[in-house]
Amino acid sequence: MLEEAGGARVKPVAPARTSVRWRTRRLSLLAPLYAVYTRRLRAQVRAALLPHHVAVILDGNRRWASLVGLHEPGAGHRHGAEKLDELLHWCSELGIGELTVWALSGENLGRGSGELAALVGILTDKLSALSQRERVRIRVFGRLEALPKELAETVHRVEADTEANEGLSLNVALGYSGRDELVDATRALIRSLVAANVPAGEMADRVDANVIERHLYTADHSDPDLIIRTSGEMRLSGFLPWQSSHSEFYFTDVYWPAFRELDFLRAIRTFQQRERRFGL
């Protein structure tokens, strides 16, 4: 799914495969210890205050695929899409009420036709599969009119099919750019003022933070308490610039397809250890 547009691909070399095999064997040997530690950490996290809304930038799919020797277009994205099922399960088990994932940026739409076609197909299939869950309500935001037709049609169908579902709210950012969102919100606000016959000289006085917020893609949704980014990149890259003003951030070197429950719990624990001041 999401990965920095224009980022250099990592060319696999022979020693990397040996390294991957060694890491795989090492992780297999350590699996019992990781399982014990994960259970202990899960209990600790459940005993403390949990975030209501977690957002995740799903980054590192292509780099992970190159590292493990997968060269098929979309291979990393396919594994990343499968990992989303686990993330939903972890959130549901902890009682986290809202999850937002950035799966496709506006810049990603400019990728080569082969990779983009594979990515669109993966996202289309994944959204359709997620819509079959009874306890998930799906909302998609971004410049949906810029999405390929098949994906856009799937988005509208999935939102309608899950609208009445109770349980976890899953927000999926597709064709999303934070700058685009602010531009679109400003345009929508101006149009609403014109429709209300507000004189041009009075429009500026009608603009405040609450009014702008009502015209964002995420209107009527809570701001994320915690934003997690995988793959080692320590920036938001335009993700939810307005909504993240009081969010806590957690960055991990783990590529998204390799992200484990243990990594997720560590992010939650770090959030719980911080003192949130909300700018005060």
| CATH number for the domain harbouring residue 80 | 3.40.1180.10
Domain-located, residue 201: yes
Domain-located, residue 29: yes
pTM for this model (two decimals) = 0.88
Residue 139 phi, psi dihedral angles, 5° rounding: -130, 135
Domain-located, residue 8: no
Contact 160, 90 (CB under 8 A): no
Domain-located, residue 133: yes
**Residue-range definition of the domain harbouring residue 196:** 14-273
Domain-located, residue 279: no
Nearest to 257 by CA among 80, 47, 33: 80
Catalytic residue among 59, 61, 171, 223: 59
> Residue 87 is inside which H or E element, if any?
helix 75-94
Catalytic residue among 108, 171, 223, 225: 108
> Residue 48 is inside which H or E element, if any?
none
Question: Exposed, middle or buried by CB within 10 Å (0-12, 13-18, 19+), for 268?
Answer: buried
Low-confidence ranges of the chain (pLDDT < 50): 4-16
Domain count, the chain: 1
Is 59 designated active site? yes
| pLDDT score at 7 | 43
At 54-110, the pLDDT tens digits run 999 999 999 999 999 998 878 999 999 999 999 999 999 999 999 999 999 988 888
Domain-located, residue 122: yes
Domain-located, residue 278: no
| pLDDT score at 33 | 83
| pLDDT score at 232 | 96
Looking from the CA of 153 toward its CB, the CA atoms found within 13 Å total: 4
| pLDDT score at 6 | 41
| pLDDT score at 113 | 75
| pLDDT score at 279 | 67
Q: Rounded CA gap, 65 and 67, in Å?
A: 5
Domain-located, residue 4: no
Is 223 designated active site? no
